Structure 1
Amino acid sequence: MGVLFDECADRRDSPRVHLDRPFDIAPQGGTCYEAPDLAVLVRQAAGWLAAAGAGRGDRVAIVKENHWDYDLLACAAIRLGAVPAQLSAQLPPDSVELLLKRLEPAVLVSTSAVLGAAGAQGTDLVAFARSTVVLDGDDPGAAVPGTASLSELHGQDAPAPRRRDGDAPLVINHTSGTTGVPKLVVHSARTIVGELARFEAMPLPKIGVGRDDTVLNANSFAHGRTFCWTGVVMSMAPRELVVLGDQDPDRADPLLRAHPPTIVEALPSTYVRFRPLTDRLDNPFRRTRLFISTYDAVHPPTIRAYLGATARRGPVWMQGWGQTETGPLTFRFHTRRSLHDSPGCGKTRDVGRPVPFKTRLRVVDPDTFEPVRRGRPGLVLARTAARCQDYAGESGRWAAKRHGDWWNTGDIGMRTRTGSVLLLDREVDRVPELSCLETEDVLEDRLPVAQECVVLGRPDAPPLPVVVTVDGRLSGAAWRRATRGLPPMQEPVALTWDRVPRTGTGKVRRLELLEQLTGSTDTAGSGRWT
């Protein structure tokens, strides 16, 4: 990964890259790049990091606004032999502080806005690294005491690329953090490149990246999924890449219409927010043949909207289920026909079969860890060569989730008669009376006004449903129709999108939302494997 862009620059078929805004590491560089330009940026960044004190084996923490240059900075650190740790700026400052304490980075890369927002809440992030680089520190009024700006580091040539053992730590990414402070997941070149990226780069029919494709990624670029994607998509060399860091559909629309994608990968929350674009006359998804979703399931009404928006014959929605610690574990495909007239059937909770030749799954009793029969719910364990090496600063927590060669996902699910996996809930969120996740599917199918539905389990009361709407309103009649035949729940709470606490990947912070609404974080699950 340290020389990825150099190698792509030597090829004549590398993609042209279109950005929704300039990189934070090159604010004057514009929004259109070729591979040689990106290679120059990575080499320059490696020089900055070396001048700031990063060297072989050091950790480089990156906390900044969402953009693809997270991965360019990671590649620059890897070029030096250092280990990048990509942390989302959407994490609460106290969480970032704790993660930095666990990392003990030699260099912190950030921006004045991120450092200022943390300082306003009493957290001095600069204190947790030997040196700090502020990407916008050259702007008037953006200087931060005790930090270095890019102009102060400019001019040092990047050292020659430094190789490392394939099992040495390569990159650190954190989990989503829906239930508290996220874990710091350590991957090696063998696990994240050799096992994950190399498999994904296989030229598979229907779902592979072709030379004529325009690939869109609208993601959280602090997470391990995009680090892996960067290696894959640059090596596959489609015609164009379109990169969106902003989640506002109106700002994204002009770029998408100028470069209509044939392959789309986005956060589940981004698909929800961009859904109104599918109704426009010149909708930007008219050429899309493949939609990809990871992190979390997307509810059926949203999938139908996108598959119905494209003019391509036989478009496919590929849904992957996995974790930062393991990479993809299962996948399945949805088509217009498979989702036709299927309200409330939980089709998106059926996450498919294990990845062939790569993963094995078993479902066990949460108390005894003995296997359960197919069709019975239990704790899902996974076996994969792509499993992460450790949790940085929490090795004991990592060891507690390892059972020999098996990894405890912390998810409750069941194997169906066909061998696929039906997810029911996270163990910490489960309630005896119903599957929160499947109930959310049913509610979204029955409530056209809902942007999102969240069902929160409680230990001493019926589940608490939260319905996200554009204006934060929900009629009682609509709710009564939607819940006909469902298990008892409390009266719903209607909120607007911005009032729901979320992770950097757009997932709902369920415990924080539960505390916000009830004053308690108690759940029916044990939370032992979060």
Structure 2
Amino acid sequence: MGVLFDRCADRGTATRVHLDRPFDLAPERGTDYTVPQLAVLVRDLAGRLTAAGAGRGDRVAIVKDNHWDYDLLACAAVRIGAVPAQLSAHLAPHVLAVLLDRLRPALLVTTTALLEHCRRAGHDPGALARTVMTLDGPAPGALGPDDVRGHDAPAPRSRHDDDPLVVHHTSGTTGVPKLVVHSTRTIIGKLARFETVRYPRIGLRRDDVLANASAFAHGRTFCWTASVLCLAPRALTILSRADPDTADPLLRARPPTVVEALPVAYVRLRPLTRRLDHAFRDVRLFISTYDAVHPPVLRAYLEASGHRAPLWMQGWGQTETGPLTFRFHTRRSTRRAARPSGDRAGARNLGRPVPVRTRLRVVDPDTLRPVPRGRPGLLLARTPACALTYPGEADRWAAKHVGRWWSTGDFGIRHRDGTVELLDREVDRTPQLSCLRTEDLLEDRLPQALEVVVLAVPGQPPLPVVVTEDGALEVEAWRRAVAGLPPLQPPTVLTWDLLPRTGTGKVRRGALLHRLTGRTETGGSGRWT
């Protein structure tokens, strides 16, 4: 990864990169790049990191606003032999302090605004790193851009394929995220390399225009950066913010043929599908990871595409394992995707395990013995792409293993046809119903809902939270939506900005439950989180 951009530039990769805003680390360089220009930027960053005192074996923590320059900084750190740790700026200051304490980085790369925000909250991240470097200007106790600019990068430094390469963190929906260490073998050799094959229909082509609206601090985009540069599409469009008004002119200027985005980004950009001559008219392939996308959103994009037979590829996996299953949606399948229980065409059907590389097993969460197909249980996985450890939490890492199997912490069903249906996180489950399946059904019955979240409340019926544009919901519309469902509490209706979310847009269910009820206990054991 340290010489990825150099090698692609030397190979003559002609991909053009277009940004929705300049990189935070190079605001003066604009929004359009060639691959050779990106290679020069990575080498320049490697020189800056070296001037700041980072070197072989050091951990370099990166915390900044969301943008693809997260991965450029990570590649620069890898180039000098360091181990980058990409941490989301969405983390609360006290949570960021916990993760930095576990990392104890030699260098913290951040921005003046984030540094000041954390210090005002009483958590100085600079106290947990040997050196602090800010990207956008001077700050007390930190090296600024002028202090490190203009230094030559050292020669690239290699490492063993099984040595630590990069550190990411999990989404953190249930509390403080876990830090996850991957090696070159796991995240590049087993994950990125798998994506560099030009598979029929789903493989990236040289004439594709790929738009990506993701959370660039997370492991998915580090892997994506490696694979997409090797596949060399015609153009990349990077969206650092899922704002329809900002994204619309950028996407219209170069209509994408492939789109990869966070589920929450698809929700926020959905209004664009209703505009005349919209930007998604040429899309042949939509890709989503991190979380399932609700059926109304799937249908909106697939129906909006002017392609004869557009596909939606949904991946399910974890930071620790990478993708475990793939599922494909079509216009036809999404029209029946939100039927009541037992429908395997629904959005919560995750498809089948990745061929050759992944095995899945469903076990009783108490006895850990396998259960028959068709019965719910705890999902276990085996994959050679599994990460190395949790820094600072080795005991927790060991506790997630069941022999040679890895506990995903998810509760689901393995059907007789081999497909896997996700019911709930084990910590969030309730005996009355599947919260996730019920959310899909309610969203389908409530067109005005931007999102529905069903929270398990021990000893009580589940609590539904309905998100609308104006925070209002008609009583009669709700009565029709819950017809035939198990008992639910009266809905809490909120606007979008009132939901606590992670950096990947997932709802922090525990935080939302505590905010609404004052309770913190959950329906599951929490043993596998």
Identity among equivalent pairs (%):
67
Q: Does 1:289 align with 2:284?
A: yes
d(CA) in 2 for partners of 1:527, 1:100: 24
d(CA) in 2 for partners of 1:292, 1:378: 27
Residue correspondence of structure 1 range 127-146 to structure 2 within 5 A: 127-137=127-137, 143-146=138-141
Structure 1 residues not aligned, in runs of 5+:
138-142
Other-structure match for 1:381:
380
Other-structure match for 1:365:
364
d(CA) in 2 for partners of 1:282, 1:392: 49
Contact 1:44–1:158 under 8 Å retained in 2: yes
Contact 1:457–1:464 under 8 Å retained in 2: yes
- The correspondence for 2:225, drawn from 227, 230, 255, is 230
String of CA shifts for 1:193-252, please: whole Å, max 9, x gaps: 000000111110100000000001100000000000000000000000000001211111
TM-score, structure 2 normalization: 0.98
Contact 1:374–1:415 under 8 Å retained in 2: yes
Larger CA deviation: 448-457 vs 244-253: 244-253
d(CA) in 1 for partners of 2:429, 2:317: 19
- The correspondence for 1:177, drawn from 166, 172, 193, is 172
Contact 2:63–2:88 under 8 Å retained in 1: yes
Q: Displacement, 1:342?
A: 4.2
Q: Displacement, 1:449?
A: 0.4
Other-structure match for 1:481:
480
Q: Does 1:516 align with 2:511?
A: no
Residue correspondence of structure 1 range 154-233 to structure 2 within 5 A: 154-233=149-228
What amino acid sits opposite 1:467 in the alignment? V
Other-structure match for 2:24:
24
Q: Does 1:264 align with 2:263?
A: no
String of CA shifts for 1:433-475, please: whole Å, max 9, x gaps: 1000000000000000000000000112111100010011111
- The correspondence for 1:301, drawn from 296, 300, 303, is 296
Other-structure match for 1:394:
393
Q: Displacement, 1:126?
A: 1.0
Contact 1:344–1:445 under 8 Å retained in 2: no
SS in 2 for 1:28: helix
Change (3 A) 1:342 1:103: closer
What amino acid sits opposite 1:383 in the alignment? R
What amino acid sits opposite 1:77 in the alignment? A
d(CA) in 1 for partners of 2:326, 2:14: 28
What amino acid sits opposite 1:354 in the alignment? P
d(CA) in 1 for partners of 2:249, 2:444: 30
What amino acid sits opposite 1:7 in the alignment? R
d(CA) in 2 for partners of 1:489, 1:118: 40
d(CA) in 1 for partners of 2:428, 2:321: 21
d(CA) in 2 for partners of 1:146, 1:113: 14
Q: Displacement, 1:341?
A: 4.1
Contact 2:289–2:315 under 8 Å retained in 1: yes
Other-structure match for 1:329:
324
Q: Displacement, 1:11?
A: 2.3
Q: Displacement, 1:10?
A: 1.0
d(CA) in 1 for partners of 2:472, 2:248: 27
d(CA) in 1 for partners of 2:279, 2:384: 38
d(CA) in 2 for partners of 1:28, 1:293: 32
d(CA) in 2 for partners of 1:315, 1:159: 46
Task: After the TM superposition, list the runs of 4 or more consecutive aligned residues in structure 1 that deviate by more than 6 angstroms.
Answer: none
- The correspondence for 1:339, drawn from 334, 337, 360, is 334
What amino acid sits opposite 1:330 in the alignment? T
SS in 2 for 1:291: strand
Contact 2:211–2:237 under 8 Å retained in 1: yes
String of CA shifts for 1:336-362, please: whole Å, max 9, x gaps: 011224433461100000000010000
SS in 1 for 2:122: coil
Q: Displacement, 1:90?
A: 0.3
Q: Displacement, 1:14?
A: 2.9
d(CA) in 2 for partners of 1:518, 1:225: 34
String of CA shifts for 1:383-404, please: whole Å, max 9, x gaps: 0000000001111101000122
Other-structure match for 1:38:
38
What amino acid sits opposite 1:499 in the alignment? L
SS in 1 for 2:27: coil
Residue correspondence of structure 1 range 229-248 to structure 2 within 5 A: 229-248=224-243
Q: Does 1:75 align with 2:75?
A: yes
Other-structure match for 2:120:
120
Other-structure match for 1:140:
none
Larger CA deviation: 246-255 vs 211-220: 246-255
Other-structure match for 1:8:
8
Structure 2 residues not aligned, in runs of 5+:
none
Contact 2:433–2:486 under 8 Å retained in 1: yes
String of CA shifts for 1:463-493, please: whole Å, max 9, x gaps: 1100010011111111110000001010000
Larger CA deviation: 91-100 vs 7-16: 7-16
String of CA shifts for 1:46-72, please: whole Å, max 9, x gaps: 111111111111000000000000000
Aligned pair count?
525
SS in 2 for 1:514: helix
d(CA) in 1 for partners of 2:302, 2:56: 47
Other-structure match for 1:59:
59
String of CA shifts for 1:398-452, please: whole Å, max 9, x gaps: 1000122210000000101111000000000000010000000000000000000
Q: Displacement, 1:88?
A: 0.2
d(CA) in 1 for partners of 2:118, 2:54: 24
Contact 1:425–1:435 under 8 Å retained in 2: yes
d(CA) in 2 for partners of 1:88, 1:341: 36
Other-structure match for 2:467:
468
Contact 1:221–1:227 under 8 Å retained in 2: yes
